[in-house]
């Protein structure tokens, strides 16, 4: 068998590359005109909604049926709003509210914005059951730890997103929730038995499939109950036998970022891509870290070489390409020029409604005062986040509170700067003023716990705002759990502190 044009075309069809810049580079235009079917947008490609609409219009000028994907979960994982901060809370906050109509409307509202920007594939929702509270990569991205709750909200999200004309994507199959390793850096092991997986982790995926989800994203997970040798992304036992045959999924299976060390560390980017297609995946997500034509060509050639060498059947590649083309046709037919529903004067944005409803307040002292009697000093403890979360995306309480209570001051500390001297300096800034301490997943970060204990010992009247997974609610004179760190979650907490909102 030779490397002919038809084989090259099939391989191009299953690659979803990323690229640099806010306009399409020449190589991408050329490849789209020559048969490339899809692309993935990252925050580096995004400035404003109108700019993204212009960008996707330029892509469609080369290929009218181009599939444009994005990793937009809302909340902590946002690309469309990475620069300004998400105007919608993430999945965990929606699970806390547990209003299926609200979850569906949040997804529909987000879908309208994506469709208006020319995006027709969203790599969301996370259908992972976050059964391990120490999980370093899922956490707030999950609807919760209860498989029934996660299942019904996953289905609601899929309904809302796809009603807007944007394909949803349930991830990270067969479930990344019960892990303690970040697959960006290593291979997480899922130790559950097959029976346990069917009872917990797989249930939200069944719900998504029953709802008609268009795509499912693989997780780079080693799941010995199904395959003790190959990560799920590369495993025919997981992707074909379990997802296709047993669960009956007939849509597009797309990989998580193929550059991630959990799969590329052993096989390289090209080798992992070819093995993923051989195992049953239909589309390769690539370009988060290597967003150039050389990488896209290397992945294509590795897939072609696998066919020529005989260990990737051409029929399997052709089936994958067919599925991707059918999804692209669906995306083109839904109308990528949809616009967001116009807001009525006086309407509260649906994202703020959701963030307010997700707040939980615990008063531990009869003398605890809310709203704050004066502009406070705010201390924010900022942990290092996993690679799925943009490190510069705005979060916290200090900025929105400063707009409501002018004179508010802020100290932000990290693991390296939260020294005894820095904490004493923060306490000095709060003399004769209220003190607000903002933490994020404090239970997972000993340095945050140490700083929190130090500050509370000196100032037992401190108001504690937890913007990650809530661990303890018995900290501070008042404890506010936002159940999310999106900008809108900080806004809702600031409204409570300033007295602009009473629950």
Give the model confidence (pLDDT) of 271-294 as tens digits: 999 999 999 999 999 988 899 999
- What backbone phi and psi angles, to 5 degrees, belong to 137? -125, -20
Element housing 185 (H / E): none
> CA-to-CA distance for 272 and 264, rounded, in angstroms?
6
pTM of the model: 0.95
pLDDT of 325-339, one tens digit each?
999 999 998 754 444
Please state the rounded mean pLDDT for residues 198-217. 98
State the Rg of the chain over Cα: 23
| Cis peptide bond upstream of 167, omega within 30 | no
The bridge status of strand 15-17 relative to strand 409-413 is unpaired
Secondary-structure class of domain 5-335 per CATH: alpha beta
Given this model, what pLDDT does residue 374 score? 96
> CA-to-CA distance for 109 and 161, rounded, in angstroms?
8
Does 267 score more than 90 pLDDT? yes
Does 342 score more than 80 pLDDT? no
Does 422 score more than 90 pLDDT? yes
Bridge partners of 362, per DSSP, are: 479
Nearest C-alpha neighbor of 485 from the set 456, 462, 465: 465
Q: Can you point out the beta strands (E) in 270-388?
A: 284-286, 360-363, 377-381
Given this model, what pLDDT does residue 182 score? 59
Domains 5-335 and 359-498 share a fold: no
Q: Which residue has the tokens 């069917």?
A: 198
Using CB atoms within 10 Å of the CB of residue 229, give its burial: 0 to 12 exposed, 13 to 18 middle, 19+ buried. exposed
> CA-to-CA distance for 152 and 154, rounded, in angstroms?
5
- What backbone phi and psi angles, to 5 degrees, belong to 334? -80, -15
Given this model, what pLDDT does residue 337 score? 45
pLDDT of 93-139, one tens digit each?
999 999 999 999 999 999 999 999 999 999 999 999 998 887 778 98
Q: Which of 109, 122, 256, 441 is catalytic?
A: 256
Size of the chain in residues: 503
Given this model, what pLDDT does residue 184 score? 61
pLDDT band of 2, cuts 50, 70, 90? low
Given this model, what pLDDT does residue 338 score? 47
Does 180 score more than 80 pLDDT? no
Q: Is 172 a catalytic residue?
A: no
Q: Which residue has the tokens 């993935």?
A: 40
pLDDT of 428-444, one tens digit each?
999 999 999 999 988 88
pLDDT band of 379, cuts 50, 70, 90? very high
CA 238 to chain centre: 23
The domain locations on the chain are 5-335, 359-498
Token readout for 483 is 């159940």
Element housing 40 (H / E): strand 38-41
Nearest C-alpha neighbor of 306 from the set 261, 276, 264: 276
Please state the rounded mean pLDDT for residues 496-503. 86
Does 466 score more than 60 pLDDT? yes
Nearest C-alpha neighbor of 447 from the set 418, 474, 486, 469: 418
Find the range with the poorest average confidence among 228-242, 314-328, 381-395: 381-395
Please state the rounded mean pLDDT for residues 344-360. 90
Does 387 score more than 80 pLDDT? no
Q: Is 184 a catalytic residue?
A: yes
Given this model, what pLDDT does residue 120 score? 97
Token readout for 475 is 């900290």
Do the Cβ atoms of 16 and 39 come closer than 8 Å?
Answer: yes
In the sheet where 478-481 sits, what is the strand order? 360-363, 478-481, 463-466, 435-439, 377-381, 409-413
> CA-to-CA distance for 130 and 141, rounded, in angstroms?
9
| Cis peptide bond upstream of 190, omega within 30 | no
Do the Cβ atoms of 462 and 437 come closer than 8 Å?
Answer: yes
Element housing 176 (H / E): none
**380, 385, 390, 391: CA torsion to nearest 10:** 50
Does 1 score more than 70 pLDDT? no
Token readout for 36 is 């490339």
pLDDT of 5-58, one tens digit each?
899 999 999 999 999 999 999 999 999 998 899 999 999 999 999 999 999 999
> CA-to-CA distance for 354 and 255, rounded, in angstroms?
31
Do the Cβ atoms of 255 and 221 come closer than 8 Å?
Answer: no
Given this model, what pLDDT does residue 212 score? 98
Please state the rounded mean pLDDT for residues 352-375. 90
CATH topology of domain 359-498: Rossmann fold (3.40.50)
Q: Which of 184, 220, 336, 479 is catalytic?
A: 184
Computed over every residue of the chain, the mean pLDDT equals 93
Given this model, what pLDDT does residue 40 score? 97
């Amino acid at each position: 068998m030779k490397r002919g044009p038809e084989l090259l075309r099939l391989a191009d069809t299953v690659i979803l590359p990323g690229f640099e810049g806010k306009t399409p580079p020449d190589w991408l235009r050329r490849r789209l005109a020559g048969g490339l079917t899809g692309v993935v947008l990252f925050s580096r490609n995004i400035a404003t909604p109108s700019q993204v609409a212009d960008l996707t219009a330029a892509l469609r000028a080369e290929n009218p049926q181009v599939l444009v994907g994005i990793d937009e979960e809302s909340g902590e994982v946002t690309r469309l709003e990475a620069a300004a901060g998400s105007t919608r809370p993430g999945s965990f906050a929606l699970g806390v509210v547990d209003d299926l109509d609200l979850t569906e409307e949040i997804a529909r509202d987000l879908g309208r914005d994506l469709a208006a920007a020319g995006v027709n594939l969203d790599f969301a929702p996370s259908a992972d059951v976050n059964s391990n509270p120490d999980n370093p990569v899922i956490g707030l991205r999950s609807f919760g730890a209860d498989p029934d709750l996660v299942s019904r909200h996953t289905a609601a999200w899929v309904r809302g997103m796809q009603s807007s004309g944007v394909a949803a994507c349930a991830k990270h199959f067969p479930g990344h929730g019960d892990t303690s390793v970040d697959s960006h850096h290593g291979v997480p092991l899922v130790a559950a038995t097959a029976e346990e997986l069917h009872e917990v982790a797989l249930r939200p995926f069944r719900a998504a499939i029953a709802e008609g989800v268009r795509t499912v994203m693989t997780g780079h997970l080693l799941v010995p109950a199904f395959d003790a040798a190959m990560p799920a992304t590369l495993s025919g036992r997981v992707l074909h036998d379990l997802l296709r045959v047993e669960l009956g999924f007939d849509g597009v299976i797309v990989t998580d970022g193929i550059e991630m060390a959990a799969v590329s560390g052993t096989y390289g980017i090209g080798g992992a891509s070819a093995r993923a297609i051989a195992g049953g995946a239909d589309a390769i997500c690539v370009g988060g870290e290597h967003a150039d034509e050389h990488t896209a060509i290397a992945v294509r050639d590795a897939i072609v070489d696998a066919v020529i060498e005989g260990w990737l059947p051409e029929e399997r590649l052709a089936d994958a390409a067919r599925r991707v083309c059918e999804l692209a046709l669906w995306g083109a037919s839904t109308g990528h020029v949809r616009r967001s529903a116009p807001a009525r004067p006086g309407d509260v944005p649906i994202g703020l409604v959701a963030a307010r409803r997700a707040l939980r307040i615990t008063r531990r002292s009869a003398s605890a005062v809310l709203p704050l009697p004066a502009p406070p000093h705010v201390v924010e403890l900022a942990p290092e986040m996993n690679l799925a979360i943009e490190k510069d995306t705005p979060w916290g309480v200090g900025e929105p509170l400063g707009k409501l209570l002018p004179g508010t001051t802020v100290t932000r500390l990290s693991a390296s700067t939260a020294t005894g001297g820095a904490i004493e300096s923060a306490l000095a800034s709060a003399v004769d003023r209220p003190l607000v301490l903002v933490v994020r997943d404090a239970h997972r970060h000993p340095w945050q716990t140490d700083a929190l204990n130090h500050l509370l010992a000196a100032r037992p009247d401190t108001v504690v705002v937890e913007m990650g997974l809530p661990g303890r609610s018995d900290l501070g004179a008042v404890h506010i759990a936002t159940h999310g760190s999106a900008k809108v979650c900080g806004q809702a907490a600031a409204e409570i502190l300033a007295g602009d909102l009473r629950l």
